[in-house]
Amino acid sequence: ALGAGELFLVVALVAILLGLRHATDPDHIAAVSTLVASDEPDPRRAGRLGFTWGMGHATSLFVFGVPIVLSAS
């Protein structure tokens, strides 16, 4: 049986791997490439887009994940 620390590491690793898989899904690649594409590349704009995209995903994880974790405690 896994202890609490080992279980957390396994769950965290699986979550990271699933997140990476989700990030490389074709719908995400198509959406981001469409939003970033322009005639004149702008690294700052791309960075802002990546940041806001990531914050949107993180916000939904907290909104739905924290209540689940707290209810399981």
What per-residue confidence (pLDDT) applies to 18?
93
d(CA 73, CA 67): 10
**Which distant-in-sequence residues (6+ apart) come within 8 Å of 49 by Cβ?**
32, 35, 36
What per-residue confidence (pLDDT) applies to 31?
84
Q: Look up the pTM and report it.
A: 0.57
Q: What tens digit of pLDDT does each residue of 21-63 get?
A: 988 999 988 988 887 787 788 888 888 888 998 899 899 989 9
Three-class SS state of 18: helix
Please report which confidence band the pLDDT of residue 69 belongs to, taking 50, 70 and 90 as the band edges. confident
- CB 24, CB 7: distance < 8 Å: no
- For 47, the enclosing helix (H) or strand (E) is helix 43-72
